[in-house]
Structure 1
Amino acid sequence: MTVEDCEAYKDFLESPTPTFVGPKRSRTSGRWRPFAVDGLSADSQAYAVRAIRAAFAWLTTVRYLAGNPWSAVTDPATITREVEVQVERALSADLWTTLRAELDARCDGEELGGLTPSEEEARQWRTARAAILLMGDSGVRRDEAAHARRENLDVAVVTSGGPAKTSAKGATQSSPKAAASDAAPIKTGVTVWALTIVGKRRKQRTVPVSAATVAALRAHWTDRDKDFDMPLVEAPLIAPLVINGTEASLAKHDGGTDGKREAPHQPYAPDALARLVREAVRRIAGDLLREGALSYDAHAKLLATSAHAFRHTFGTRAVAHDMPIDVVQRILGHASLQTTSIYVHAERQRMLDAAAHYYSEDDG
């Protein structure tokens, strides 16, 4: 291909010839899927050019081609839109408080609406509570929550010289700054828990874990007949209590023919954990609506709440409590501070307030 050929193909993407245009087909139809009548969007055109350029770059790297003609071709013009994270999914402070209170009530086996949850139901509620608090109080993704492990959760003692991590067996590992000077004793301050996880792009990061989340995890581990505080324990933080009777599930969890295990060691699949969380929130929403304790808008909000919504809930709550934006970025694992800044609703409001003040003065 020549540069002229590449430019011609770029023009073709913008306006495909009639022989390449046809009705839309579903991905599962097995039939040829031509260009739509209205053509590709500018973003799709740019994506196609970048994909082909990358393919040619690899062919050049392995010496299959002598050069990459696409390197001389510019991307189709696109509009750089304002980054929009679906923060509207986040629960309000009141709704988050209500949800946590309802979870606690069901986990403790309290009578609700004339019915008392059975112990088996309460155990499932405690599993859902542990997952919801881990995502809502630490901002982790559902995949990260599903794969979080106990051996990666340590106590971090916050001191005047920086945090010092304490392992599960009690050995203290001072921060480099503290280790460099043994003259001054470490002053113990607030004790928090820190969880090390591997997120998107295989990047490792550490997130804080609240005392309420640790208490919920302890209760969940008691249901699994496991000691949360046993030294050097290695196991998923959250694991299913009952295993489906399918061959795949039994093989994964090494379960018996009855589909139950006393202490399963395999974690939830991310999709399965998300379904557990969503079903728990849906049931609470229905119960509160029937009791007249929830408005229709709040009910609709909870019904639309997914596992990922709790990550947004953490982001909005952290910013509302004046946590530094760069700290929120590191906890959430965002590659760009621009993404994290979406949670700072006050920034846009300040801009509008300043503009209103400017125009009011301009009007005299």
Structure 2
Amino acid sequence: MSHDEAFDSNDAAHRVPLRLDYLFTSHPQTHVINEVGSNRAPAETCTIGAKDDLEAINAWLIEHRESGPTLRSYRKEIERFYNWLVLIQHKSLGGVTPDDIDAYDLFMTAPPDTWCGPRYGRRKTKRWRPYEDALSAKSRSQAKIILRACFSYLVAVRYVVGNPIPLERPTRKRAAGERSDGLRERHIPLPAFRKLIQALEQQAAAPPSQTARPIAAAERQLFVVRFLANTGLRGEELAKANMSDIACEEQPSTRRSYWTMSVGRGGAFPRKIAVNSTALEALRRYRQVYETDNSFFGESSPVLLPLSGRRTPPRFLSAQMVYAISMEALKIASLHYASSDAQTSALLAKATPHWFRTTFATIAAQCGIAQDVIQRQIGVSSLQQSVAKYPDADPIELFDMVAKLKL
């Protein structure tokens, strides 16, 4: 039985498709997934009931199924590592040692040609290869961070006893723009963000062509940037949002009404976020340009529409499409300031859509908003721990905080 076939035996509703079959026709070591290894915890202590490595890997990935980019990145790295572990080291997860991690790091610096393929089309049947080329030091470090996260999960659920990947501690001097915790700040300062909006507004007012499609594209770019930055949403959360998710609610304690949005229903971190007047204005303008109903209650159409407008049945865009729209907006604004403001142009050229979330969080923190309030709004990956640490976060404070930002 191949790895894919073994994996397909899991419940299809709780499964993340993997490619763990690289070169299995010439390297039939599939039996290693059932070998225990010296680091494997006793089966009776495992809290997820995983019978083998594939089920354990799947359980870890399912934890991140609501975050598209994170899931894709984690799946890619565990696919690469597990293929290497089986085919080169002939081991299971329970047999991994720190020496194996060192060997894998060396392997990533120069994977054999038989392990490499062109970036596009690598995942096609019989043509898939785990790598495009050798990985840079930064990419190898990121791969080990992800693998360490996987093993940390496996330790927590008692599938393995210990984490074989040591925690990497930075030894270099702190670089300019880097926080004291070693993480580089990546956000758009408020003056630069306002310039970004100005450039997109000008683009929407005078697109290259006055036909409907360029106007719709420009308005959609403006909306996506303004809405993401004013709510702290992930791109995939915007892609999945319904108009009916947005509602005006009265808080009994203040007798004031607030606009809210339900996010992540059925996912790992469902929550209700605040929607400020700037985000609402952006949404209403966008829907008006698309000649679509601005109503909310009972309105089942997606918040983010295709360029052709509303369809029946409604068609939701993908998270990848939201990413592409955001990147195009950043590119347009960067080119807009190329000759008049080189600093802003350079900043926007290196920015990514994730920066809209960090911009929201950073500006909120600069305004003195408590960490737990910000975390509840943006739904960070450590939300469960944050809620346990800050059990008394006031939803009214959340609504008032978001209302003040107006990015």
Shorter-normalised TM-score: what interval?
0.5 to 0.7
- Map of 2:222 onto structure 1: 129
Partner of 2:319: 270
C-alpha displacement of 1:50 = 6.0
Question: What is the match of residue 10 of structure 1?
Answer: 97
Aligned to 1:151, the other structure's residue is in SS state helix
User: Cα deviations across residues 72-125 of structure 1 (Å, max 9, x unaligned)?
Assistant: x5645434678655532x111101111222323333x2x59xx78555423222
Alignment of 1:46-125 (within 5 A): 57=159, 70-71=160-161, 75=164, 77-79=166-168, 86-88=184-186, 90-107=187-204, 109=205, 118-125=211-218
Give the corresponding residue for 1:287.
Answer: 336
- Cα distance change, pair 16–155 in 1 and its aligned pair in 2 (3 A): closer
In the aligned structure 2, how far is the partner of 1:313 from the partner of 1:11? 38
Q: Deviations over 1:288-309 (max 9, x none)?
A: 324x2xx222111111222211
| TM-score where L is the length of structure 1 | 0.60
TM-score by length of 2: 0.54
Q: Distance in 2 between matches of 1:3 and 1:220?
A: 59
Native 8 Å contact 2:239 2:318 kept in 1: yes
Cα 1:28–1:318 shift into 2, 3 Å = same
**In structure 1, C-alpha distance between the alignment counterparts of 2:311 and 2:151, rounded to whole Å:** 54
Letter in 2 for 1:106: Q
Partners of 2:182 and 2:291 lie apart in 1 by: 44
For residues 337 and 282 of structure 2, the distance between their equivalents in structure 1, rounded to whole angstroms, comes to 22
**Distance change (3 Å), C-alpha of 1:264 and 1:310:** farther
- Structure 1 or 2, whichever has the larger Rg, is 1
Alignment of 1:1-364 (within 5 A): 3=38, 10=97, 12-13=99-100, 23-25=110-112, 27-29=115-117, 57=159, 70-71=160-161, 75=164, 77-79=166-168, 86-88=184-186, 90-107=187-204, 109=205, 118-157=211-250, 161-162=253-254, 186=255, 188=256, 191-198=257-264, 202-229=268-295, 231-242=297-308, 265-290=314-339, 292=340, 295-336=341-382
Distance 1:235 1:116, change over 3 A: closer
Aligned length: 270
* Distance in 2 separating the partners of 1:303 and 1:339: 35
Q: Is the 8 A contact 2:263 2:272 kept in 1?
A: yes
| SS in structure 2 at match of 1:95 | helix
Q: CA deviation at 1:222?
A: 2.3
Structure-2 separation of matches of 1:44 and 1:231: 41
Higher relative contact order, structure no. (Cα contacts within 8 Å, ≥ 6 residues apart): 1
Q: Is the 8 A contact 1:241 1:264 kept in 2?
A: no
Q: Where does structure 1 lack aligned partners over 5 or more consecutive residues?
A: 58-69, 163-185, 243-259, 341-364
Counterparts in 2 of 1:199 and 1:262: CA distance versus 1, 3 Å: closer
Aligned residue type for 1:303? A
Distance 2:189 2:108 in 1: 47
CA 1:262–1:9 in structure 2 vs 1: closer, same or farther (change >3 Å)? closer
